Structure 1
Amino acid sequence: MKITIFGAGAIGGYLAAKLAAAGRTDLSIVARGAHLEAIKADGLRLIEDGQETSVPVRAAAKAEELGVQDYVVLALKAHSLTPALDQIAPLLGDHTSVVTMQNGVPWWYFHGVGGPLEGTRLNAVDPGGAIWQRIGPDRVIGSVVYPPVGVD
């Protein structure tokens, strides 16, 4: 199973470290800048319950280096999603599922709910419907993000 975490900050880094430690997936992350370089050099460092571990992960600055994935976890801040659509596109194949781990009301919120709000699109979080068109709501797996984590 090929999984890419897109956005390896606090939430994405935590999830990536846990998945890498489990060793059951072909895991990659997309990160940038000094954070990316640190991950490439030393892996992801996780400090939890006073224990420090470091796990190696495949890290890339550009998603096209990774190819089509089975799952893509969007762990970047919601306002960063639209500008990242071109970067995310190479990860998406016909059967790729997208797990959204983002703050706020999601762009796909009313998709598939039935009733009078069915199909309502939230222009405030998806201006012009760009995310809806490029990612598509049918592939989305929603989530709730709760762990109190940070980046050192």
Structure 2
Amino acid sequence: MKIAVMGAGAIGSYFGGLLARAGEDVWFVARGPHLQAMREKGLRVESPHGDFSIPVQATDDPAEVGPVDLVLFTVKSFDTEGAARQMLPMMGPQAVVLSLQNGVTNEEVLGRVIGPDKVLGGLCYIPADVPEPGLVKHNGPKRDIIFGELPGGITGRARAILAVLEKAGIPTTLAEDIRVPLWSKFLFISAFSSITALTRMPIGPVRDTPEAWELYAGLLEECYLVARGLGVNLPDNAVAQTLEMSKNWPDSAKSSLLQDLEKGKRLEIDALCGAVARLGDQVGVPTPLSRCVYGALKVHQPKTAS
């Protein structure tokens, strides 16, 4: 299968590296020093599941790649529309795009550009970063992908993608209703990102401060009610389960949103707390906490962000 990784940072490079090692025809669309390092020295991966190095095909020009069968779409949410337009030269007649981004609105944006029938919903659980150009460090045991057709059901093309991912050794689940796992993850990351970025603290001090923990629970509840308002069948105990899971995270755990805030980078708030507020408006669910966090963090959005 010919595969392109659009936005080959830590997550895209890791999964793309596994697929290339398994013999798939993989192209990495990247930029900056990471692209240059991959061109010159290949891709290096350090992982609890085994380190490896592999020469790769890397470019910053999707037209150089040409039509593909599958695109793993791993760009930041605020780059979704622009990256979707850039990848049009890769969209052959049978091409399909699997989004592995944060948030629950990226698939709709992709669909407006390339057509909704070409988009699969997906998510991944993997702690990874790029400590230096050309090197991906996988920082934990999890490296799971969950994906599925947005209208629901199981299709032949989804089964074919599942087979390719499993052949590469990627633990993968093909979901009958992808909206449930998408929103289950979003419930956590939207509230976790919001509370850690707002307080400028990792989860430990939030847990130790009753007022902050209450705010975290309130953010989870708002997101849960929005999901149910949209017809997503999250379990009744979804908020309680997420709170219990959050008690087991290391005290030092920070969201990527907090890390971006500390580094002065552009923030994914429009896809996180901002999305909760917007979608709440659509279904008539009040979201005062999410709206407040969004407004407070918007002040820190770099002025260069459009």
Q: TM-score, normalised by structure 2?
A: 0.41
Q: Which amino acid aligns with 2:112?
A: Q
- Per the TM alignment, residue 50 of structure 1 is displaced from its structure 2 partner at its CA by 7.9
**Where do residues 42-81 of structure 1 align in structure 2 (5 Å cutoff)?**
42-49=41-48, 51-81=50-80
| Equivalent position of 1:142 in the other structure | 121
Q: Please report how far the alpha carbon of residue 91 of structure 1 lies from its aligned counterpart in structure 2 after TM superposition.
A: 0.6
How far is 1:51 from its partner? 4.4
Query: Which residue in 1 is equivalent to 2:14?
Result: 14
SS in structure 2 of the partner of residue 134 of structure 1 = helix
- Matches of 1:142 and 1:133, distance apart in 2: 14
CA distance, structure 1, for counterparts of residue 66 and residue 85 of structure 2: 13
> Larger RCO: Structure 1 or Structure 2 (Cα < 8 Å, ≥ 6 residues apart)?
1
Structure 2 gaps, min length 5: 132-306
Q: Which runs of 4+ in 1 moved over 3 A?
A: none
Distance 2:51 2:92 in 1: 36
Provide the C-alpha distance between the structure 1 equivalents of 2:26 and 2:6, rounded to a whole number of angstroms. 11
The structure that has the greater radius of gyration is 2
Q: Which residues in structure 2 correspond to 1:1-152 (within 5 Å)? A: 1-23=1-23, 25-49=24-48, 51-108=50-107, 126=109, 131-152=110-131
1:50–1:89: structure 2 CA closer, same or farther, 3 Å change rule?
closer
Amino acid at match of 2:59: A
Write 1 or 2 for the structure with the bigger share of helix: 2
Q: Determine the C-alpha separation between the residues in 2 that align with 1:82 and 1:51.
A: 35
Q: Partners of 1:52 and 1:41 in 2: how far apart?
A: 19
Percent identity, please. Answer: 40
Offset at residue 18 of structure 1 (A): 0.8
| TM-score scaled by length of structure 1 | 0.80
Measure how far apart 1:106 and its partner are.
Answer: 2.9
Cα separation, 2, equivalents of 1:8 and 1:92: 17
CA-atom RMSD, angstroms?
Answer: 1.6
